[in-house]
Structure 1
């Protein structure tokens, strides 16, 4: 009996495929003027749309996620349309296999099949803007040079801030117009604490803004206010990193940046508890640190009492009526006195004295109405008194009557260095909220009085979900909302970082023109706040390693994967080299004339603090 006639499917050779592709290309009229490295052809077995299409990858070539490609569509009686995009998905499959088990026969060579890779392309630019789909079989090329810049809209950015490199190792830029308030402002950075490197990216972005020249002359006068909430990591921004190697230095040079520390930094820290001299409460940095605090006179005159009650739910409680009544009474009747204030003829020399006096007046039937009004019952007064008494331990070292004339103590970025670091890590939660709220309020009011957007003030605040939570209201949240909604016109730019953007006030997140995502928690990644990320990119965010961020900006319809270099400045005490010499620093206006900004005391020998 004759053997059955078995039809074997031949495996096409690369040369045969190239010849077939060439003939097909000529049939559909693809223009040979498209230059670059050919990597494939537009698939004809999957729908191609003006905004998304698939390309078959040429044998011997490859495409990875985030690669930038370009193709061209010929049109009758019109100029050709160039379609550029970014690879957002890649797949590989056996063509010729019918069952899952066929993979073993194909691997053994007993069943012929062709391995074919295909990549999904999401369109980023169409030029001219005639939205037609690419033709199946059209050549797809890997974009480089000017073609890559055009595909990612970098050629349209008049002022480009380098923020790292893409997966192809080529620099990626941020449009400064959406950072400095020209067309947009504010940055929102989200990710898991300790893994997403949110603070590292925020400081690198600041460094790039100051040193890249993108802001021109505005960068010289621009200021940055950074709140340090975790350890003493940000106290050494003006110290070079001892772990900096040639590879990292070359990475900075590739971005057009010098690999140096921040040249002009001033550090503030709270006074040590129980220290009558007001020495700053820091352990690793021994020089170049000033204490910050508020005098009792400032506390009363500037109406700072509401920031003592800065928990998110406090504004919904009835005792806030007492808060505002007492605040107004102190502002009207507190007079400066030697070593404190005088209220209703009583001299008060410390925050504890002030608290005790306020509680005494509120619990006295004869004076309660004067301080709190007639509509407040005793239960509401007691609720206020309990919380106020509880604040004595946390705020006693920040609100002082004994240090009024000792040294400059106010945080004023306009008279400080280019970068002002306010250390909060040694303070309890209530005290941290008080410092953040009062400092932001003061800086924002100063910018309002100034009336112009220049010079710019960049505010870097971590744990934004604690200070501006989605639910509730508080004085700090109101200040941050004001910055998010009006800060652009006043030159106040918020760079906020948080573990969970879903728990931050929506208006703050939506007013951020730049959104950055590092490593995400799986549950958080599914929230609608990350809807700007394609599904594949959300999955990648679950695996992102430190130093990898996904950046979304209005100019580019697809978020870009960015890798930023290792910090050139010290991020902890063990990495800190010697700070800049005293001759290279400037004396802060209004500060102690013997105190040098950024690194040391009065003599060159003091510049090396370790």
Structure 2
């Protein structure tokens, strides 16, 4: 830090409150003010060392009458009948001491509102070799995230908490991805970096590659201040579940008519890849005895199911649908002659029946996702390796069991692919909302096991989880604990008091109850105080009504990548004649 005046003088260090190397109070000078989140710097000369600069963030502000004894004195003072002086004071929580000699500032020392290099130094931005812009502070200046704690170099994973519809968790997650891809901080690695986003609410995330028609010049200026261009994501692949009852397997979407591919799994894939456990993905299922049947049946299917043009042949029977598949399994398990081959000789009838009941209940939910009526070559599996930079998987039309199946199988497949690659590059960012549903604090499930694996080993494999949830207190502790970056938007009062938010100072715990959409409190390892950040309005469409035309390059890339075996009604030309393609 510079020994020159670090900013504008705003007051002096109080002598009536204890000052420590970690916190101190500043008496605000007449005509000046300090607000929450302002950055304050003061200095203290030391013999043999020189000038020590102590910097911090304002975490509390108060104002009082000095000279008043009773509450009612305020009326007499206001009428000029009683002498008193209004005095404001601000509590400063220290964020940096340079050089690292931890001494308290002296009472009477001049306090400055930090500006320019002094502000960047106080917030440790000058020590960040890769500064990722994530928004602006209360002073209107850029706020940065240390990319080393995002990409696995020194830490990884992001936890975002807040009330649904108010905290703008998904908007912040997508803005963070946009900054990763477009800021230049990741250099050439950004070109190969991928993102996998699960869309769980409406069709809001299906238009990330479309310009937001509500974008104005003020918003563009906010992006420019952060060193970004206000534009949509250039490369987006969208997957939607195959439409129920449609023999062609067309995608089940209503608002986006182009550039959507269906996803489903053939029965052959289902058996060979051992996906049956993800049909039983509720958090409490692993504590039930019938899970032994699940694993036994899974192994039997992998060994004996024979692929047959998308369907399978099993025990001499040709099976062409998930419904037939379930009925066949239940029949084999109910037959005393074959039950032992499928479930094991030590499994009781009651346990087998518990398995069968749950399997039968899955027919309605999973029938359109697990297919045996389409040729193998036309199966569309979700894969970020062969997709665009951003892959959006639409789940909003699926029931809860089907959502769990898709999330679990997709994460399992992607994580195994990264394990086989054996390298952390290229990076894969996974954005998953409603994390408390997939990785709850209590219980166990196949999905939770995958998410725990990502949280604990994903850093070394280049898989970064950006998890969002209304209540971090209901998410598995190890996942939250492994998140180097913690972000909080508007919170419910009961949730704000939970230990998971202990990283927030008391004043910020109160402020999150009032936070407006677009304001987040971001905690990162190098800065001891979470910073209040306002991020710009999305430059990409966040709902169908905001969607402008897709960029020319995006449309061209979609057509060139069209699968020659794609089902009718999918891909870039869906619903459009050849002469209607807009280029």
Q: Give the TM-score taking structure 1 as reference length.
A: 0.92
* Residue in structure 1 matched with residue 152 of structure 2 by the alignment: 181
- In the TM superposition, residue 584 of structure 1 has moved relative to its aligned partner by 6.7
Structure 1, unmatched stretches of 5+, are 1-30
Cα gap change, 1:230 to 1:383, in 2 (>3 Å): same
Q: Number of residues paired by the alignment?
A: 578
Q: Which residue of 1 aligns with 2:220?
A: 249
For 2:72, the equivalent position in structure 1 comes to: 101
1:364-404 per-position Cα deviation (integer Å, ceiling 9, x unaligned): 00000000001100000000000000000000000001123
Q: Which residue of 2 aligns with 1:18?
A: none
Q: What displacement does 1:36 show?
A: 1.5
Note the residue ranges of structure 2 that are not aligned, 5 or more in a row.
none
Q: Could you say which residue in structure 2 is the equivalent of 1:492?
A: 463
Aligned partners of 2:212 and 2:582: how far apart in 1?
A: 16
Indicate the residue corresponding to 2:174 in structure 1: 203
Contact 2:135–2:144 (CA<8 Å) still a contact in 1?
yes
Q: Aligned partners of 1:538 and 1:169: how far apart in 2?
A: 22
Q: Is the 8 A contact 1:266 1:289 kept in 2?
A: yes
Q: Tell me the SS of whatever aligns to 1:443.
A: helix
Structure 1 position 167 matched with structure 2 position 138: yes
- 1:352 alignment counterpart: 323
Question: Equivalences for 1:62-211 in 2 at 5 Å?
Answer: 62-211=33-182
Q: CA deviation at 1:80?
A: 1.2
How far apart are the structure 2 equivalents of 1:354 and 1:405? 17
Query: How many angstroms does 1:605 deviate by?
Result: 3.1
TM-superposed CA distance for 1:32, in Å, is 8.6
Cα distance in structure 2, aligned partners of 1:347 and 1:122 = 70
Deviation, 1:594, is 9.3
Hey, what does 1:461 align to over in structure 2?
Answer: 432
Alpha-carbon shift at residue 345 of structure 1 (Å): 1.4
1:36 to 2:7 alignment = yes
Match of 2:580 in 1: 605
Aligned equivalent of 2:503, options 518, 532, 554: 532
Match of 1:286 among 247, 257, 274: 257
Q: Matches of 1:489 and 1:236 in 2, distance apart?
A: 32
Q: Distance in 1 between matches of 2:382 and 2:363?
A: 22
Equivalence map 1:21-60=2 (5 Å)? 33-60=4-31
Hey, what's the Cα distance between the residues in 1 that align with 2:94 and 2:39? 10
Partner secondary structure for residue 529 of structure 2 = coil
Q: Which has the higher Rg, Structure 1 or Structure 2? A: 1
The whole-number CA distance in structure 1 between the counterparts of 2:515 and 2:56 is 22
SS in 1 for 2:268: helix
User: Counterpart of 1:47 in 2: which secondary structure?
Assistant: coil
Q: Aligned-pair RMSD on alpha carbons?
A: 1.7
Displacement of 1:582 in angstroms is 4.8
Q: 1:585 to 1:193 in 2, by over 3 A?
A: same
Q: Does 1:389 align with 2:360?
A: yes
2:540 aligns with one of 569, 572, 579: 569
SS at match of 2:515: coil
Counterpart residue number, 2:419:
448
Distance 2:201 2:53 in 1: 49
CA change 1:568–1:323 in 2 (3 A) is same
Q: Residues 64 and 594 (structure 1 numbering): CA distance in 2 closer, same or farther, change over 3 Å?
A: farther
Q: Is the 8 A contact 1:225 1:421 kept in 2?
A: yes
1:422 is paired with a residue whose SS is: strand
- Alignment match, 1:362: 333
Contact 2:13 2:108 in 1 (8 A): yes
Give 1:339 deviation, angstroms. Answer: 4.4
Runs of 4+ in 1 over 6 A off after TM superposition: 594-602
1:315–1:473 CA contact under 8 A, matched in 2 = yes
Give the aligned partner of residue 7 of structure 1.
none
